[in-house]
Amino acid sequence: SAPPKSQYELYTLTTWLLKEEMNGTLDGELATVLSSIATACKQIASLVTRAGISNLTGLAGAANIQGEDQKKLDVISNEVFCNALRASGRTGVIASEEEDLPVSVEETYSGNYVVVFDPLDGSSNIDAGISTGSIFGIYAPSEECSIGDMDNPEKMLENCILNVCQPGSSLLAAGYCLYSSSTVFVLTVGTGVYGFTYDSIVGEFVLSHPNMKVPESGKIYAFNEGNYCAWDQGLKDYINSLKDGSNFHGQPYSARYIGSLVGDFHRTLLYGGIYGYPGDSKNKTGKLRLLYECAPMSLIMEQAGGKGSTGVQRVLEVCPEAVHQRVPLFIGSPKEVDYLESFCK
């Protein structure tokens, strides 16, 4: 019979990765990449928590390719992620919201994984101490093209772009780390969704949310209604039906909007409902980036029994044509996303 459970047994992220590896559902090299990402998130959690007392709030004085003013912690978090991925020795190419172009990693000696990430999403909330998060996705290197050799930089860049521009359906793993009232690392490797809460005393992510499943339906919607006037009529009708109760629930929804995708997503995953960032008359494809925001979050939501849609198609089926391509995103409980799509057809 199984030995009595020790009161001191700690089920950490490391334990979980080792068990997935032993079950044959996770390649050891990929486990190493995930472990290095978790270390980067621990470092970022500490930086974010102490931003106000270590002169790390405010702007960095530069803008990224998105034209967004970079916060100091955007730049530092990006550096933390890149350092951790290089040090893993298993990463071939990285693409970041904060990097204009994908970067090939010379230090690779095994694995050669492609990692896409938003190192600190929602950083405009930093100075106010409101939730932020890191988002990542991991692909196998593209069979069609190896990264190539250093003496042909143009060809190498082209191959790097081809390696990162893969549809979300090809993701091997995806996850995020929420920096909020607690620090929670949530990931999927294709066998369901698991959440680990950071225990700063031990310095480990400890399993707190085994096999997460989004409720079939919920009563909360998260949209920035400040953009209402720029939305198309179908979307206005949809939002109005949530507010006046003329929806399939037969009663009004509650509105919650943190302005941080990771915070709004995590609440939606746990409580149900829908988060949306639609396209509008100003930006037809919306604001969120397909590669390192919408696709990883859609894989997680689908693995938890939910849906991630552009309004007209499954996010995971969209094949990126550009690294920083944007798509509209509607993500959450299956019933809410289906209902939303009925207004977008």
Residue 294 CA to residue 315 CA, distance in Å, equals 7
Q: With CB under 6 A as the contact rule, which of the stretches 13-21, 103-111, 198-206, 255-263 interacts with ligand P6P?
A: 255-263
What is the amino acid identity at position 55? N
Question: Is residue 261 close enough to count as binding ligand P6P by CB under 6 A?
Answer: yes
The residue among 177 and 261 lying less far from ligand P6P, judged by its C-beta, is 261
Q: With CB under 6 A as the contact rule, which of the stretches 30-38, 42-50, 245-253, 258-266 interacts with ligand P6P?
A: 258-266
In 3-state terms, the chain is what percent helix, strand and coil (to 5)? 40, 25, 40
300 φ, ψ (degrees, to nearest 5): -60, -45
Helix and strand counts by DSSP (H, E) for the chain = 8, 15
Residue 292 CA to residue 97 CA, distance in Å, equals 7
DSSP letters spanning 34-71: HHHHHHHHHHHHHHHHTGGGTT--SEEEEE-TTSPEEE
| Shortest Å, Cβ 76 to ligand P6P | 17
The residue among 77 and 104 lying less far from ligand P6P, judged by its C-beta, is 77
The residue among 228 and 343 lying less far from ligand P6P, judged by its C-beta, is 228
| Shortest Å, Cβ 75 to ligand P6P | 15
Residue 162 CA to residue 157 CA, distance in Å, equals 9
Residue 94 CA to residue 82 CA, distance in Å, equals 8
The residue among 134 and 163 lying less far from ligand P6P, judged by its C-beta, is 134
* Residues between 103 and 162 with contacts to ligand P6P, criterion CB under 6 A: 121-122, 124
Query: If you search the block for the tokens 């299956």, which residue do you land on?
Result: 334
Question: Is residue 71 close enough to count as binding ligand P6P by CB under 6 A?
Answer: no
**CA separation, residue 209 to residues 38, 69, 280 (Å):** 16, 35, 36
What are the structure tokens assigned to 237, written together?
């009708």
Question: Is residue 259 close enough to count as binding ligand P6P by CB under 6 A?
Answer: yes
The residue among 214 and 288 lying less far from ligand P6P, judged by its C-beta, is 288
* Residues between 286 and 305 with contacts to ligand P6P, criterion CB under 6 A: 287-288
Among 146, 152, 191, 224, binds ligand P6P (CB under 6 A): 224
The residue among 288 and 304 lying less far from ligand P6P, judged by its C-beta, is 288
* Residues between 23 and 52 with contacts to ligand P6P, criterion CB under 6 A: none
Alpha helices by DSSP H, the chain: 13-22, 28-49, 72-88, 153-164, 233-244, 261-271, 295-303, 334-344
Question: Is residue 260 close enough to count as binding ligand P6P by CB under 6 A?
Answer: yes
The residue among 90 and 266 lying less far from ligand P6P, judged by its C-beta, is 266
Q: With CB under 6 A as the contact rule, which of the stretches 23-31, 69-77, 256-264, 266-274 interacts with ligand P6P?
A: 256-264
The residue among 111 and 119 lying less far from ligand P6P, judged by its C-beta, is 119
Number of residues this chain uses to bind ligand P6P (CB under 6 A): 10
Three-class DSSP labels, 106-144: CCCCCCCEEEEEEEEECHHHHHHCCCEEEEEEEECCCCC
| Shortest Å, Cβ 235 to ligand P6P | 15
Three-state secondary-structure class, residue 215: coil
| Residue closest to 135 by CA, chosen among 94, 176, 166, 167 | 176
Question: Is residue 69 close enough to count as binding ligand P6P by CB under 6 A?
Answer: no
Question: Is residue 281 close enough to count as binding ligand P6P by CB under 6 A?
Answer: no
Q: Which residues bind ligand P6P (CB under 6 A)?
A: 121-122, 124, 224, 259-261, 264, 287-288
